[in-house]
Structure 1
């Protein structure tokens, strides 16, 4: 009897172990795909553009007649994951703007950045040069991939990954897409921007809230598309005055932008990641509060409201929440800026 009990117990244990072993495999199969298709990203770019134009959002006053190129540039993270779809906006065959749409729903709101009068870069030349350097420095290596990446936001460049056939070690070659200079593959420090993963930085606090923000963006885009369709307007076509009149006269499409436009000259960012501090300093100067007016570096470091890990300082900008915290404790104001963060970013002179 004892042997039978042991045998049954062992059988049950084995069954449990098999079931437990199978759970990860099932979970892996059921893992959701959060990637965004080019078509869906295109709809988001168009929906937001037409919304801003119809609502008279600052900066979009002269966009009537503009259209979004449906073939975006795909920007990757240094970890190999697709990061953004960069759509070009043209008016009278002239590039007037770029719109970055997140390529993964876990990255948050769909529209990440809008840049007016973007500086042209040399994507093809940068990728060609990175491959040439890889072949020269690792002649016995095998090139695995070459992509256009965001290697130190907002810096963009080509990244070629080459694998040493003998050791199996992989090496990365970076070439800046603007200067075409090779960029050393080293981590960011307090004084040097270095190479860092924007994807990992965005997901530092998890993805659940980001997924909710994406869902809000998707619902907004769909509502704009439907509202336009009800008026016989195709949001994927070039924006005409007639169509804008249809949408704006009856308030069919409304922008999420609210606020006051300050009559103050723009100031330059002292560092690539100082978009938030530059915006805050402009408002501080306008209202002369607090006094003395803090420097961009003081604002960035938190001025007692937050602290940076020495290893990550200057590797990324302030979050929307950081700006809200500043407004709450330094100006006595409350609210959110997530819906207009990209517009503020694009209006700062760099």
Structure 2
């Protein structure tokens, strides 16, 4: 049974903004890789609101800005049922325009249902981490409501059906949260709030305003006040290139292309797809993906294998052994190329992800509250 978003657990924009600032300050103070150029930046307090396909608010995406340019983004959970507050640190600006995406889904809806009435249009996470626009239109004669989904990057129409293995579709993030997990997540959000409040008080006591752009001098002062920031157990990032998937169902070939390049092998996504897919077309199943990694005319890593019970510690071990891995979430493949212990609350860990979706992006992703489905270890 999936968790139901309850208004009493909603996180306000003001609360989310506080958490985004404190987590950013904490991570910059600890020299988190990727945030080296975020000094003297600030967070725009007006976020992009991203919804679940069930219509409930899911994330606030804040832009990190420096010299009037967007240099990164921070996703914060919009509901306490999602657990620890800050979900991702993403690098660079969006490769798509929300207004254009929503206009496209309205256009598609009107063309498909000319007698319909548009009820709403929202930016949604339709199949984490894939983002798009959802337009709901109602037939004026029958009263029947239909949903139209359009991918943010490709502007392709996404079928309104359950995303099954090897098929593109949509799924609700909230429905993946069990009642037990929801209760655990509420406690984790409280940990985040306690952490944020503690950092705010500590910085105020030493006369620092963390809601202004952080200068190098301020960062040095914060590092001297070691009690203000959480300790770091360890981190490591492998040098894996980022490639965007060239087709909507090419996330697995694009991920394999990245891993292959790390090992000095250059193959096109079409070539990789030809080895992975059995000829049926569409997305590649997890078993099919192994074909490329193991084949002698593929990456030639015969000891590669699928793990359907992924853990943070397993990813950390493989990265420590200089082995990037395929990181699977529901119906999507990415590459895990790094780890970071305790980037926020003590014990709140993150993986460094190369994601081929949405034009290709790199980000730190909080481990515990994401629906991880599998790893493929390339050995």
TM-score between the two structures when normalised by the length of structure 1: 0.72
Alpha-carbon spacing, 1:133–1:75, altered in 2? closer, same or farther (3 Å) = same
Residue 345 of structure 1, aligned match among 344, 349, 353: 353
Say if 2:242 is the partner of 1:253: no
Q: Which residue of the partner structure matches residue 190 of structure 2?
A: 215
Q: Which residue of the partner structure matches residue 52 of structure 2?
A: 77
Residue 41 of structure 2, aligned match among 62, 66, 88: 66
1:161 and 1:170 in contact (8 A); partners too = yes
Tell me the distance in 1 between the aligned counterparts of 2:256 and 2:177.
Answer: 19
Point out where structure 1 has 5 or more consecutive residues left out of the alignment.
1-30, 284-291, 307-317
Q: Which residue of the partner structure matches residue 7 of structure 1?
A: none
Q: CA deviation at 1:252?
A: 4.2
Local SS of the residue matching 1:189: coil
Local SS of the residue matching 1:163: strand
Alpha-carbon spacing, 1:63–1:149, altered in 2? closer, same or farther (3 Å) = same
Q: Which residue of the partner structure matches residue 121 of structure 2?
A: 146
* 1:193-342 paired onto structure 2 within 5 Å: 193-203=168-178, 205-261=180-236, 264-266=238-240, 295=304, 298-299=305-306, 301-302=307-308, 306=309, 322-324=311-313, 339-341=348-350
* 1:45-60 paired onto structure 2 within 5 Å: 45-60=20-35
Local SS of the residue matching 1:239: coil
Q: Which residue of the partner structure matches residue 79 of structure 2?
A: 104
Tell me the distance in 2 between the aligned counterparts of 1:150 and 1:329.
Answer: 29
Q: CA deviation at 1:330?
A: 12
1:107 and 1:203 in contact (8 A); partners too = no
Alpha-carbon spacing, 1:327–1:340, altered in 2? closer, same or farther (3 Å) = closer
1:257 and 1:339 in contact (8 A); partners too = no
Q: Deviations over 1:238-279 (max 9, x none)?
A: 1122221221112143245321435x4226589759999999
1:113 and 1:346 in contact (8 A); partners too = no
Q: Which residue of the partner structure matches residue 95 of structure 2?
A: 120
Higher strand share: 2
Q: Deviations over 1:36-86 (max 9, x none)?
A: 000000000000001111122222222211110000000000000000000
Q: RMSD across aligned C-alpha pairs, in angstroms?
A: 3.7
Point out where structure 2 has 5 or more consecutive residues left out of the alignment.
1-5, 263-300, 321-339, 362-379
Higher helix share: 1
TM-score between the two structures when normalised by the length of structure 2: 0.67
Q: CA deviation at 1:141?
A: 2.0
1:76 and 1:148 in contact (8 A); partners too = yes
1:99 and 1:115 in contact (8 A); partners too = yes
* 1:110-189 paired onto structure 2 within 5 Å: 110-189=85-164
The structure number with the bigger radius of gyration is: 1
